[in-house]
Homo-oligomer: A and B are copies of this chain.
Amino acid sequence: MTGIKALARHLDLSIGTVSRALNDKADVSPATRKRVLAAARELGYRPNHSGRALRQGRTSTIGLVLETGSPASLAGDAFFMQLIDAMQETFSAAGTDLVLLPCRSADDPIEFLRRQVGRRMVDALVITATRRQDPRIAMLVEEGMPFLALGRSGTPGDWPWIDLDFEGVADRAVAELAALGHRRIALVAPRKEVNLAHVWMDGYRAAIRRHGLEEHEGLMLRLSVSENGGRQAAEAVLGMDPRPTALLLVSEMMAPGVYARLGEAGLEPGRDLSVIGFRRNPQLGFLRPELAGFALDLRALGTAVGEAALGLAVSPADPVRLVWPMDYVPAASVRPPPAE
């Protein structure tokens, strides 16, 4: 393997000069720089990551922690894939690499993170699926590890986060439904104790109250975020008496299940039960009637997340705290409630 040493010997230069030439440092003549770059390309030289990281004290790598085992994390839709895509594009321009660190849900997430921190293999971490009380955050703050949370948490402190506007979405969705005359609106929240579940339910509760609609804990369903969860949501709504006239889903990926179960009962989404999915998702373009939801530019979000993660190392003060807004897109799955 050609290291910088072999390269220097081949060029009859010192390794110091070669290094400076490769890294665009000042103290090297244009002629030699050109010569070095040519030789490096020819010999296929790639700097050894460990050596560089050891010397520089940083790895130019950022880790995104993902939960494996939980279907809500990466499965169900290409949400994260697209996010990762955009993040990587941003990183790439900054000479940084992205690695995904899968954390087994069976393992202790704290221990997993502590291990990553100790290894110093990444300069910063991006964590997802934040909990209402998330010990990971306190740990990372304590360890002095730069990190960005995708999602808020009740853990106090000035750590950086970016989150979707769950309460804004819930509020707007309820408002749209109320304006059409809906009085009984059921809500689906994740079964898992992630923070967004509570933000989502709080936003819903506040909006229900503000519009003076029917408030009832039984209208809030906790289900797994999956097609099957959607099916169970529809099942539950069908069993309620009086039956809600609208259903608000925490994830649009549940909608196919809802539609299927309604169809089996001879009901039609929109006409018999208004349905609002969370995110407007082109993958679900086949749904009839079209599913109402909220537009989200995943590329823009991914870029923002990427930039925030990059900024972590450079400016630890003034952490990002960003609620990402989403715009309502009406569709035929939302109509006035059926006449009683």
Chain B residues whose C-beta falls within 8 Å of the C-beta of A102 in the assembled complex: 84-85, 88, 98, 100
Q: Which of A48, A68, A70 has the most CB of B within 10 A?
A: A68
* A26 contacts partner chain B, Cβ-Cβ < 8 Å: no
The 8 Å CB contact of A50, one of B50, B88, B231, is B50
Check: A71 CB closer than 8 A to any chain B CB: yes
Give chain B residues whose Cβ lies under 8 Å from the Cβ of A303.
none
A74 on the interface (CB 8 Å rule)? yes
Q: How far is the CA of A66 from the CA of B102 in the complex (A)?
A: 13
In the complex, are the beta carbons of B68 and A84 less than 8 A apart? yes
Is there contact, CB below 8 Å, between B69 and A81? yes
At the interface, yes or no: A315 with Cβ under 8 Å from chain B? no
Bin chain A's interface residue count: 35 or more
Once the chains are docked, how many angstroms separate the CA of A55 from the CA of B90?
32
Q: How many copies of this protein are present in the complex?
A: 2
Interface residues in A84-114 by Cβ distance below 8 A to B read 84-85, 88-89, 97-102, 104-106, 114
Least distance between A272 CB and chain B CB atoms (Å): 16
Chain B residues, CB < 8 A from A48: 54, 119-120
Cα-based distance from A284 to B257 in the complex (angstroms): 11
- Smallest Cβ distance from A135 to chain B, in angstroms? 16
Structural contact, A81 and B74, CB atoms closer than 8 A: yes
Beyond A66-B100, A85-B104: 19 further Cβ-contacts under 8 Å? A46-B114, A46-B118, A49-B121, A50-B59, A50-B120, A54-B54, A69-B81, A70-B81, A71-B78, A74-B75, A74-B81, A75-B77, A85-B105, A99-B100, A227-B227, A227-B256, A231-B286, A256-B256, A260-B260
Name 30 A/B residue pairs within 8 A (Cβ), A-sorted: A44-B118, A46-B114, A46-B118, A46-B119, A47-B118, A47-B119, A48-B54, A48-B120, A49-B53, A50-B54, A50-B120, A54-B54, A66-B100, A68-B88, A69-B81, A71-B78, A71-B283, A73-B81, A74-B75, A74-B78, A75-B77, A75-B78, A85-B105, A97-B119, A99-B100, A227-B286, A228-B284, A231-B286, A259-B260, A260-B260
